[in-house]
Amino acid sequence: MEDKNWLAQTGKNFSDIDYKELGISDDLIGAEGFNRAMLDKVHAENVAGYIELGMSETQAKHEADKRRSMAMKAAKDNGLKL
């Protein structure tokens, strides 16, 4: 099984299984969609965090969307697969 996570793609010693404790389901381990699931998880956590800091839900989603977009652009610029 080939690891799909971005750290493994850059040569770091991280297995997709290492992310299981963060709530990634077994069916995504080593599968297409792994990094998308990670982005979605972080996005949801960012929205919750921004709301906790006092942002409205709309503002929080907007800020989290920007962060996700930046992460996707950085991955693409570095030749990483989603």
One pLDDT digit (tens) per residue for the chain, 82 residues:
799 999 999 999 999 999 988 888 899 999 999 999 999 999 999 999 999 999 999 999 999 999 999 999 999 999 999 8
Return d(Cα 50, Cα 69) in angstroms, integer. Answer: 16
Query: Is residue 10 a part of any domain in this protein?
Result: yes
Q: What is the pLDDT of residue 18?
A: 92
Q: Report whether 80 contacts 34 (CB < 8 A).
A: no
Closest C-alpha among 34, 40, 36 to residue 65: 40
Give me the pLDDT at residue 73, please. 96
Write out the residue range of the structural domain in which residue 63 sits.
Answer: 6-77
How many structural domains compose the chain? 1
pLDDT of residue 23: 85
Is 82 inside any structural domain?
no
pLDDT at 22: 87
The one-letter code for the residue type at 3 is D
Q: Does residue 60 lie within any of the structural domains?
A: yes
CA dist., res. 79 & res. 47, Å (int): 27
